[in-house]
Structure 1
Amino acid sequence: MRIGFAVPQFGAFADPDLVLDISRALEDLGYDSLWVGDRILGPIRPSDPYPGRDGVMPEQFVTHLDPLLTLTLAATATERVRLGSSTLNALWQPPVLLARTLTTLDLLSHGRLDVGIGLGWLRDEYTAVGVPWEDRGGRLEETLDVLEAVWGSDPVAHQGRYWTIPPSRIGRKPVQRPRPPLLLGGFSPAALERVGRRADGWLAGAMPLPYLTGLWGLATKAAQEAGRDPGQLRLVVRVNPTVTASRTDPAHAHQRGTVGQICDYLRSTEAAGADEVFVDAQLTTSSPAEFLDLAEEFITTLRG
């Protein structure tokens, strides 16, 4: 099982110099992958509750760095680790521009990019970027069509409901062929069906194992029904834990507990089908030293 860690990006860690220094340190510690998330604002009166914890968006998310520029910094600071987004909100920019940026990042990193995209949960953010909340699924389907068209062979052309690309030459293509791996987030039946039908894997959040295996089963079933090999799908599990000094209720180890408890949970996801796990410590640490100490403790415990 591959092990990743989220790079500095939110709250006290929204500092480009920290991204460079800590990305190097995480690679030196032996991590397999580095990950970023995506936020653009913290509304005073949010349109939707945060989907976790007590329904309140963590204060750290109000201060943030751009995810793809953060990955660019991480790419320049490292040589080996893969670089992923969990998740990039794909509808906040035209897909042809998104394809160009992702191509450039894959070239810059010499083919180390994992493209993890989703739809987000906050209508206020869609309002802020002028993108309709309605038919998000349809827009995502067409975004995937455009990405695959741009990353395919020239001439590139696309005619859809939302976007049109006239027959064109788009010369630079990603290093990874036929394209960088596409991983999708989401927890609804429709989202898991889309994972199985179109993606290379699912970006899951930490949750009790029966729920994880049940949702994963929807994706693998959809893959089989689409004539794809379910065994080729990747399951990546993200945990944003609250790390405690003393043991907590084991039933909550996917959210809260000691490093040992959280690592036990992460190991258990492998039996459920997880190919990769990664930890985001930005909500449970407040200084670079504490962040790196925790990163070292996690990788040592998980590799032990």
Structure 2
Amino acid sequence: MRLGLALPTFGPDARPEGVLRVCRTAEEAGYDSLWTGDRVLAPLVPGAPYPSGDGEMPRAYENHMDPLVALTFAASHTTRVQLGTSTLNGLWQPPIMLARSLTTLDLLSQGRLVVGLGLGWMPDEYTAVSVPWKGRGARLEETLDVLEKYWTNDVFSHEGPLFTIPETVVGLKPRQRPGPLVLLAAFTPGGLRRIGRRFGGWLPVAMPLPHLMGMWNIILKEAVEAGRDPSALRMALRVNPQLTDTRTDPEQVPRAGTLAQYVDYARAAAEAGVHELFVDFGQTPATLAERVDLAGRFLEGVRRG
């Protein structure tokens, strides 16, 4: 199983020196990937509860970097690790602009980009970027249509319900052909079916492994029914540790636990068939130095197993 680490693109460590330090830590320690998230708004009173924990949005989101710019910076300071978004809200800009940005980043990183898309949870952000909250699924489908055309055609046009692109020459092509791996963060039955039918894989968050693998089997079944090879799909599992000083009841993991318990969870995930697991220590109250130390101890613990 591949192991990744979230970049500090949220909170007080979302600074050049913080991103650079985590980049170097990942490369030197032997992590396989680096990941960024996406926020454009931190309202005082969000229009919807945060979909985790007690429903309160993490204060770290009040300070947020542009995920693709941050990954471009990371690309310039690394040579080996893959660079992923978990998740990028691909609906906040026209798909032709998204295609150009993603293609540029894949080229500049020498083919190390993994595109993780999501639909977000907060209607306020859609209001801020003048994109309707309603109809997100259809907008996602058409966005994917445009990405695929941009990456695989030298000349293309698009006429859809939401977007019109006049016929154009596309000389810019990603390093990865036919294009970067595109994953989707989704948990509804419709979202899982969409992954199996159209996407390269799944971006779940940590949950009890029986439930996780049950949802994964739904995706694989849908892929088979769509005539796709299910073995080609990939899962990259996000873990947001809530670290405790003493061991918690096993039923609390992965919601909360000691570092050793999260190491055990990662080992069990590898045995269950998870392809990649990345950890975000940025949602803990630790300092940057402490998070770097945690990242090293976590990697050593999982690899030792």
- TM bracket (short chain): over 0.9
Q: Counterpart of 2:164 in structure 1: which amino acid? A: T
- Partner-residue secondary structure (3-state), 2:283: coil
- Partner-residue secondary structure (3-state), 1:204: coil
Which residue of the partner structure matches residue 64 of structure 1?
A: 64
Which residue of the partner structure matches residue 38 of structure 2?
A: 38
CA distance in 2 between counterparts of 1:114 and 1:192 reads 19
Q: Which runs of 4+ in 1 moved over 4 A?
A: none
Q: Counterpart of 2:222 in structure 1: which amino acid? A: A
TM-score (norm 1): 0.98
Q: Deviations over 1:181-221 (max 9, x none)?
A: 01111100111111111111100100112221121111111
Contact kept? 1:285, 1:291, Cα under 8 Å = no
CA distance in 1 between counterparts of 2:204 and 2:173 reads 28
CA distance in 2 between counterparts of 1:216 and 1:271 reads 14
Say whether residues 1:165 and 2:165 are aligned partners: yes
CA distance in 2 between counterparts of 1:254 and 1:125 reads 28
Which residue of the partner structure matches residue 142 of structure 2?
A: 142
Which residue of the partner structure matches residue 155 of structure 1?
A: 155
> Which structure 2 residues correspond to residues 251-270 of structure 1 after superposition, within 5 A?
251-270=251-270
Displacement, 1:166? Answer: 1.3
Which residue of the partner structure matches residue 95 of structure 1?
A: 95
Say whether residues 1:201 and 2:204 are aligned partners: no
Displacement, 1:140? Answer: 0.1
What is the RMSD of the two structures over their aligned residues, measured on CA atoms? 1.0
Q: Counterpart of 1:185 in structure 2: which amino acid? A: A
CA distance in 2 between counterparts of 1:54 and 1:302 reads 29
Q: Counterpart of 2:205 in structure 1: which amino acid? A: G
Q: Deviations over 1:63-107 (max 9, x none)?
A: 111100111111111000000001100100111001101111001
Contact kept? 1:37, 1:85, Cα under 8 Å = yes
Report the number of matched residues.
304
CA distance in 2 between counterparts of 1:249 and 1:39 reads 33
Contact kept? 1:84, 1:115, Cα under 8 Å = yes
Displacement, 1:286? Answer: 3.5
Q: Deviations over 1:95-146 (max 9, x none)?
A: 1001101111001100000011010111011111110001100000000000
Q: Counterpart of 1:56 in structure 2: which amino acid? A: E
For structure 2, the residue ranges without an aligned partner over 5 or more in a row are none
Which residue of the partner structure matches residue 240 of structure 2?
A: 240
TM-score (norm 2): 0.98
Displacement, 1:285? Answer: 3.9
> Which structure 2 residues correspond to residues 219-230 of structure 1 after superposition, within 5 A?
219-230=219-230
Q: Deviations over 1:204-253 (max 9, x none)?
A: 10011222112111111110000001111101110101112211111122
Contact kept? 1:21, 1:77, Cα under 8 Å = no
